[in-house]
Amino acid sequence: MTDERVRQMSLANRLLTRPEFGAFLALVVVWVFFAIVAFDNNFVSWVTTAAILNRAAPLGILAVAVALLMIAGEFDLSIGSIVGFAGMAIMLLITPAEAGGFGLPVWMAVLIALIITLLTGFFNGVLVMATRLPSFIITLGSLFIFRGLAVAIPRLMTNRTQLGGFEDYDSGGWAAAFATKIEFGGARFDIAIIWWIVIAAIATIVLLKTHIGNWIFGTGGDANAARNVGVPVAKLKIALFMVTALAAFTVALIQATQLNSADSLRGTLKEFEAIIAVVVGGTLLTGGYGSVLGPVFGALIFAMVQQGIIITGVDGDWFRVFVGGILVLAVIFNNFIRQRASKR
């Protein structure tokens, strides 16, 4: 039997059905815009490109993890707080006992901080699954809980909310792995960019080429239907909350090595920036649809607008107005092309 309604989809239509396509288009538009407007400010240069990528990398790492979680149908508003929390955990464990810390060797401090951070994700996930409350509410609570802990515990122990001196204890390996600058074209690129690419590549493979990826889509599309065919929905979601915590930990480690310190307030508002990158990247807020590449583009757009505004000398106060506008436009645009593409 052949269907009389068979129609070959054009290449353009095929591209349109890809979740990251809108973000890619927006990325090109934003780049061209600044390339014209800010050409005299040296926008088209290795230095500016490096600045954009260096800015985008930490946000991009968070966005990749948040994307997987959002495709599975859950939010994590606490990820910014966990960045601050994880950074303080690392530094507090390293800081010598006479300064109020634990004085552990760096590798042990990193390992223990990693485990504690994964537990924060586990805590979020279990709470969401056990209470069946929206993750929006649960992680809104943990946004305050972990930020509060990131301020209160170090203050209690060391009487400070900033802890420095990572390099005094590092024998060099950690800084080399997470804070190296790579010279290219006269500009300095952070090694974090490479971490970002590696993490995004792994996430893409998991999402598109493994059964776990199929479970992620299925769980976000309809958790009940997925459960009925045997997908371990609760375990999957808890694991994904732990993945976002792991991404937050990675960013905290990058910042601790780059800036040589931790600060209780680090990562503030990153949860929203990550969600913006993910949504601009074409992921559906309600789950079940999205990609990893889209949020990568989303993070690039975010950083590009930020950098573009800085170098054009426009008052930085306008940055939020631009970003908010782009977010709304991107969502409208994505909705529009998705509807167009899915209709025949």
User: In the complex with another protein, which residue's Cβ is closer, 182 or 285?
Assistant: 285
If you ran DSSP here, which 8-state letter would residue 288 be given? S
Q: Is residue 205 a contact point for another protein (CB under 8 A)?
A: yes
User: In the complex with another protein, which residue's Cβ is closer, 154 or 220?
Assistant: 220
Q: By CB under 8 A, which span of 38-46, 62-70, 148-156, 205-213 interacts with another protein?
A: 205-213
Contacting another protein within 285-314 (CB under 8 A): 288-289
User: In the complex with another protein, which residue's Cβ is closer, 210 or 335?
Assistant: 210
Of 342, 325, 274, 217, give the one whose Cα is nearest residue 57: 274
The answer for residues whose C-beta is within 8 angstroms of residue 96's C-beta and 6 or more apart is 103
- Count the alpha carbons within 13 Å of 24 in the hemisphere toward its beta carbon: 11
Q: Is residue 211 a contact point for another protein (CB under 8 A)?
A: yes
Q: Is residue 132 a contact point for another protein (CB under 8 A)?
A: no
Q: By CB under 8 A, which span of 129-137, 173-181, 204-212, 293-301 interacts with another protein?
A: 204-212
- Given candidates 85, 215, 241, 297, which one binds another protein under the rule CB under 8 A? 215
The answer for residues whose C-beta is within 8 angstroms of residue 72's C-beta and 6 or more apart is 216, 219, 220, 236, 237, 240, 287
Q: Is residue 97 a contact point for another protein (CB under 8 A)?
A: no
Q: Are 52 and 303 in contact (CB under 8 A)?
A: yes
- Given candidates 162, 204, 214, 260, which one binds another protein under the rule CB under 8 A? 214
User: In the complex with another protein, which residue's Cβ is closer, 58 or 213?
Assistant: 213
User: In the complex with another protein, which residue's Cβ is closer, 25 or 341?
Assistant: 341
- Given candidates 172, 186, 230, 313, which one binds another protein under the rule CB under 8 A? 230
What kind and span of H or E run contains 189?
strand 187-190
Contacting another protein within 309-338 (CB under 8 A): none
In the complex, least distance from residue 134 CB atom to another protein, rounded to whole angstroms? 20
- Given candidates 284, 293, 305, 309, which one binds another protein under the rule CB under 8 A? 284
Rounded to the nearest 10 degrees, what angle do helices 79-94 and 135-158 cross at?
20
Q: Are 91 and 256 in contact (CB under 8 A)?
A: yes
Q: Is residue 202 a contact point for another protein (CB under 8 A)?
A: no
Total residues interacting with another protein, rule: CB under 8 A: 30
Alpha helices in 173-292 (DSSP H): 173-179, 192-209, 211-221, 223-228, 233-258, 270-280
Q: Is 172 helix (H, G, I), strand (E, B) or coil?
A: coil
- Given candidates 118, 221, 259, 268, which one binds another protein under the rule CB under 8 A? 221
In the complex, least distance from residue 292 CB atom to another protein, rounded to whole angstroms? 15
Q: Is the dihedral of CA 305, 308, 314, 317 positive or negative?
A: positive
User: In the complex with another protein, which residue's Cβ is closer, 155 or 227?
Assistant: 227
The answer for residues whose C-beta is within 8 angstroms of residue 88's C-beta and 6 or more apart is 150, 153, 154, 163, 262, 263, 264
Q: How far is Cα 267 from Cα 251, in angstroms, rounded to an integer?
A: 9
Instruction: Point out which residues bind another protein (CB under 8 A).
Output: 1-3, 6-7, 9, 205, 208-211, 213-215, 217-218, 221-222, 225-226, 228-231, 284, 288-289, 342-344
